[in-house]
Amino acid sequence: MISCSPLNDFYSPGIPSLGLGRGGVNRAIHEMEHSIFEESIVELAPHLGIHRCLEQIWKSFNLRARLFLLEGDSLILRDCVGEYSCCPEIGLKIHPKSLVWEISQKGKPANLTESYYQKDWPHSLPEPVTIKAVIPLKRADTLDGHGEASGVLVVDAGDSPSGAIDERDFQFLEVLGILISEILEASILMKRIKKVQKEKEIMEQEVAHIFRNSFTVIGGFARKIGKIAVDPRLKKWCGIIINEARKGESALLKWRKSHEEGEINFD
């Protein structure tokens, strides 16, 4: 039997493999720029939290745990913990006519008994599967309070004899399912916030560039006019315009520096 716990094949393809578990974190620190490493850890944190939930199921009940996420019209395997004769391939799709798919469509957690196995359900793993519980996962929806399906948590005993999990343990699994759903929702929210922040930074840079160019042009024209002006009053006005343009540029530079340092101070 193989103990399966694939930390490096997680949910987001964009997350770099950190080689966790074999001194890989130390190697990554030396191989990556510090900022990139920190960003990777922040993105990886929700997935590690979910992985710990699956590990808790394995440690508490000696039952295998698998997480499938709904991607398009398919349930895709994104994490698994437990002992397998052959470690499941991350990215594996749930069979569309499987027991897990049917329960996920109904949207209600199921504590499975022998009656569920009277039908010969197809499944995707190349080894015996005795599913003990299926917990559908839902995204939070503050508008109608129902939520949207996001995936499913599957708990099985491999080729061990089946039998329903007692009610208290099943409630524990339901709580873990809620926790995983909340972590997934938080992860999605973090990505949205990060995207908005990036767009905000780009917009601020563009606005700052436009203002700086404007101050430069205004000051430049005022200097040229001041050089050829005969009227003393016009020369004086040009001097005022030049000084105000310099003040504007100076304030803009202070704003950009303060913004980059996280502090806004024009004193």
Distance of CA 259 to the CA centre of its chain: 26
Cα separation, 69 vs 87, whole angstroms: 18
Cα separation, 195 vs 13, whole angstroms: 17
Least trusted range by pLDDT, from 32-36, 53-57, 148-152: 32-36
Over residues 3-8, the mean pLDDT reads: 52
| pLDDT of amino acid 18 | 36
Closest CA to 127 of 170, 182, 86: 86
Residue of 80 and 85 predicted with greater confidence: 80
- Which tens digit of pLDDT belongs to each residue from 166-177? 889 999 999 999
Burial of 66 (0-12, 13-18, 19+ CB in 10 A): buried
Percent of the chain with pLDDT over 90: 15
pLDDT band at 39 (very low <50, low <70, confident <90, very high): low
Cα separation, 133 vs 136, whole angstroms: 10
Q: Are 54 and 78 in contact (CB under 8 A)?
A: no
Q: Could you tell me the two tokens for 196?
A: 């908005």
Q: Give 50's Cβ-side CA count (13 Å radius).
A: 31
- Which tens digit of pLDDT belongs to each residue from 132-145? 899 999 876 544 44
Q: Is the pLDDT of residue 179 over 60?
A: yes
Over residues 141-153, the mean pLDDT reads: 69
pLDDT band at 152 (very low <50, low <70, confident <90, very high): very high
Give backbone dihedrals phi and psi of 10, rounded to 5 degrees, phi first. -90, -170
Q: Is the pLDDT of residue 244 over 80?
A: yes
Q: Which residues pair with 66 in a beta bridge?
A: 80, 154
Record the pTM: 0.64
